Amino acid sequence: MALSRDKCVLCGKEAVRSLATSRLAEAFGNLGNLKLPLKGRVGLCKEHYRLYKKKVKAERETSLARMKDLYS
């Protein structure tokens, strides 16, 4: 039985990383056409993992900038 982490949930290529489904949903927003499990881990290929990292980095930088404004 193959795990869902063996292939990328977005494109079907070989997965290199696995993420919690909640983090994936936070980063990519509503993935209505994609059937994700409610909890657990899913796989991402190299390309989609890079895209995930870029989105999370941008969100983290904006939240840190807001925190700096509050305490300056």
**Tokens 């999370």 appear where?**
56
Cα 62 to Cα 67: distance, rounded to the nearest angstrom: 9
Residues written for the chain? 72
Query: Residue 14 forms beta bridges with which residues?
Result: 7
pLDDT of 25 strictly over 50: yes
The percent of residues above 70 in pLDDT, for the chain, comes to: 83
Mean pLDDT of 9-25: 89
The long-range contacts involving 27-30, CB below 8 angstroms and separated by at least 24 positions, are 27/52, 27/55, 27/56, 27/59, 28/52, 28/55
